[in-house]
Amino acid sequence: MGIADSPLEIKLRDEISREQPWPLAETVRSEAMQIVEDLQEKLSSVPPGPWSDPPRAAIVLPIRSIIAHQLAGLLVLGLSSRLQFNDRYWDFCELVTSQVATAIANARAYDEERKRAEALAEIDRAKTAFFSNLSHECRTPLTLLLGRLEDELRKNPSARERLELARMNRETLECERELRKSAEEAEGMVRLHEFSTRLLATTELPLMLEEVLNATIALQCADFGNVQLYNPRIQRLEIVAQRGFGQDFLDHFSSADESGAACFRALKRAERVIIEDVLTDPDFAPHRAIATSAGFRAVQSTPLFSRNGEPLGIVSTHFRQPHRPSERELRLTDLYARQAAELIEREQAKEALRKSEEKYRTLFDSIDEGFCTIEVLFDGNDKPIDYRFLEVNPSFEKQTGIQNARGRRMREIAPLHEEHWFEIYGKIALTGEPARFENPAAQLQRWYDVYAFRVGELQERKVAILFNDITERKRLERRVLEVSDIERRRIGQDLHDDLCQHLAGIQLMGDVLQRDLLAKAKSEARQAGMIAARIRDAIANTKNIARGLSPVALESNGLMAALRELAEDSGKLFQISCEFRFDGRVTVDDNTVATHLYRIAQEAVTNAVKHGHTKEIVIRLAESEDKCILTITDDGLGLPETFAKNQGIGLQTMKYRAATIGASLEVRRAGGRGICVSCSFCKQPRLRDW
């Protein structure tokens, strides 16, 4: 803050704002989001935050207040260079902006309540001071008057009786006048205090407005009155409380021209308007007929404004006869209006907050996706060990099968829940980097597509999770792979048992024909021999294809034999060095599991040749005490820079095959260059049936 790229103060005039990297003036003018591209070119430095790569773009969002076209501020958010700015990302940014707007509204409402309490305390102190000084204020002018009368009596003793009577009368009148004035001031202060007390005790806006209207009418001794609120959407005043008017008056001012009437003038001028006689005011001419019908001759309208100067409404009082309220009445009316405006602003803020929360709750309750917020629990070394559910939506139970999750820990619900769930959520809670992934949950017997992101402050360790149960999709994908493998084996068997036998018969016939032609010294014998040789090649190729379609024999060592053939055939086919190495005999009894492992190796070899332009590949099968590891290492070009974002179908298929047999697949750089694909699985891997 305070540097050229992020100054403490920015003027929002367009010609000045254009010189800044942030389009703040345009955001204020349009009240819409603005995107800032190429941050590295526009800023001297871009902070990366907890990530290694800084954002390349940012957005400027308007923070809306409870008043239309009135912004509470602007929010600048850097866009992750690792995520696409799509509708989901945009919805998240809107949610953040809404929460910030709510926080600002709450802070301002709290500040207004504090100021209101201070104002009431000040009124109470003023009332106490007034009554304590009342006797002194009345006694001072009377003492001066009595002094002058005493001087006259000394000069003219004969007039003593007459002057004494005059002195007593004048003294009585002065005392009565001062007492009446003091009583009126005291009554006004008491009324104001009582008015404030009643307003604070009222919780509903319509009742508040009725209280404001009744108090103002009583203060000014008016005959009629109404309160209008300003509707910023249609930019008109709407009567929300009234006393003494008929339906014709209400209808007239719901559609009347905005010129001439005291309320419209007060709103436009932002000051009180008093029309002492509507019959002599030339601007009021369009409304004289309704005034005559309603029975009023004078009107005063006091505008209500927010702390920011935005119009809130009008309080109007009407009188049957030409009239002008006294200065004391107008002064107290201003105090009434100030308190009324503060309460209206507070209630409108509460209503805006309620609607915002209702909108969020409706979305929260109605979405089909499961949603929850969790608190990640760590040990003393910041290792995630568990998480607690803080809030769940109605779809959560449907998506997980977990009942009454709120407040419970995951270890309590599913003690055997996989470690990778805790590791992923722990990383998100600590770094703030969101994640999108698909993972199985074995104890729940489900697959999930998950998008998780941190919420709240770092120290809160909270993560929000949006997820879908994709178990059925994964089951269908697994079935497609199984059917594909079955069909491959069937075709391979047909090629071996049918086509190869037909070709073998044709080869024998060719050999017999060649011998017969040689016995007769026919020149066609050489051509017959070439035909037989081509048929032998076709038989060999067909057998190779059959082995590729059904590579793994049913014996327990079939995987090792298939991988050895894969290495030999790949070396010949691609003209590279491809070796199969193993540490002792590794047995896989389940033929389906062995087939998945073979297909992983086959896909890795194909990718290394096709994309990595490798010259050397090593396929290794090894085992430890409880695990077996299949690795395919090459010396090709290595992983591309866009690998994390652009993962092809082949890699996704390998990952799915590994997950199907309960194995873990890792793709990493192999030393200085090349790629290493590693698949780790239990000695007795179990096929998932969900």
What DSSP state is assigned to residue 409?
B
553, 562 Cβ separation under 8 angstroms? yes
CB 88: neighbour CB atoms within 10 A?
12
Buried b (16+ CB within 10 A) or exposed e, 136-162: eebeeeeeeeeeebeeeeeeeeeeeee
pLDDT band at 16 (very low <50, low <70, confident <90, very high): very low
Handedness of CA 102, 347, 194, 271 (dihedral sign): positive
243, 224 Cβ separation under 8 angstroms? yes
Name residue 649's amino acid.
I
Looking at the DSSP bridge assignments, the partners of residue 467 are: 370, 450
Inform me whether the pLDDT recorded for 6 exceeds 80: no
Average pLDDT over residues 75-87: 82
| pLDDT, position 554 | 41
Inform me whether the pLDDT recorded for 149 exceeds 60: no
* φ and ψ at residue 82, rounded to 5 degrees: -100, -5
| pLDDT, position 5 | 60
Give the DSSP per-residue string, 240-303.
EEEES--HHHHHHHHH--SSSSHHHHHHHHTS-EEES-TTT-GGGGGGHHHHHHHT-SEEEEEE
Token digits of residue 58: 């940012």
Taking CA atoms, 138 is separated from 184, 396, 439, 495, 541, in Å, by 14, 76, 87, 123, 125
Average pLDDT over residues 545-551: 56
Q: According to the per-residue pLDDT averaged within each range, which of 39-43, 214-218, 386-390, 664-668 is highest?
A: 386-390
Digit-coded pLDDT (tens) for 644-664: 554 666 787 788 788 778 788
Residue 578 CA to residue 183 CA, distance in Å, equals 109
* φ and ψ at residue 621, rounded to 5 degrees: -125, 120
| pLDDT, position 631 | 93
Looking at the DSSP bridge assignments, the partners of residue 622 are: 629
CB 626: neighbour CB atoms within 10 A?
8
Name residue 128's amino acid.
T
Superfamily, domain 202-350: GAF domain (3.30.450.40)
What SS3 class is residue 466? strand
Taking CA atoms, 479 is separated from 335, 482, 656, 681, in Å, by 77, 5, 12, 21
End-to-end CA distance of the chain: 53
556, 588 Cβ separation under 8 angstroms? yes
What DSSP state is assigned to residue 497?
I
| pLDDT, position 214 | 87
CATH of 556-690, picked from 3.40.50.720, 3.30.460.10, 3.30.565.10, 2.130.10.10, is 3.30.565.10
Are 202-350 and 366-469 in the same CATH fold? yes
| pLDDT, position 2 | 47
pLDDT band at 291 (very low <50, low <70, confident <90, very high): very high
| pLDDT, position 319 | 95
Please tell me whether the overall predicted TM-score, pTM, comes out greater than 0.75 for this model.
Answer: no
| pLDDT, position 141 | 57
Inform me whether the pLDDT recorded for 496 exceeds 60: no
Residue 296 CA to residue 556 CA, distance in Å, equals 105
Among 114-128, 180-194, 601-615, name the one with the lowest average pLDDT.
180-194
Inform me whether the pLDDT recorded for 128 exceeds 80: no
CATH 3.30.450.20 fits 366-469, yes or no: yes
Contacts of 214 (CB under 8 A, 6+ apart): 243
Percent of the chain whose predicted confidence (pLDDT) is above 90: 21
Q: According to the per-residue pLDDT averaged within each range, which of 80-84, 493-497, 672-676 is highest?
A: 672-676
Largest CA distance in the chain: 186
Digit-coded pLDDT (tens) for 315-356: 999 999 999 999 888 988 888 888 888 888 888 887 877 777
Among 187-196, 465-474, 547-556, name the one with the lowest average pLDDT.
547-556
Taking CA atoms, 447 is separated from 18, 68, 400, 414, in Å, by 50, 45, 10, 15
What SS3 class is residue 419? helix
Inform me whether the pLDDT recorded for 1 exceeds 50: no
- Name the strand (E) or helix (H) holding 170: helix 160-201
Contacts of 223 (CB under 8 A, 6+ apart): 217, 244, 295, 296, 318, 319, 320
Inform me whether the pLDDT recorded for 151 exceeds 60: yes
92, 363 Cβ separation under 8 angstroms? no
371, 389 Cβ separation under 8 angstroms? no
Average pLDDT over residues 537-542: 66
Taking CA atoms, 285 is separated from 277, 280, 282, 321, in Å, by 11, 9, 6, 17
Tell me which residue has tokens 């497609």: 480
Closest CA to 678 of 622, 619, 630, 644: 630
The radius of gyration computed from the CA coordinates of the chain, to the nearest angstrom, equals 44
Spans of all domains in the chain: 202-350, 366-469, 470-550, 556-690
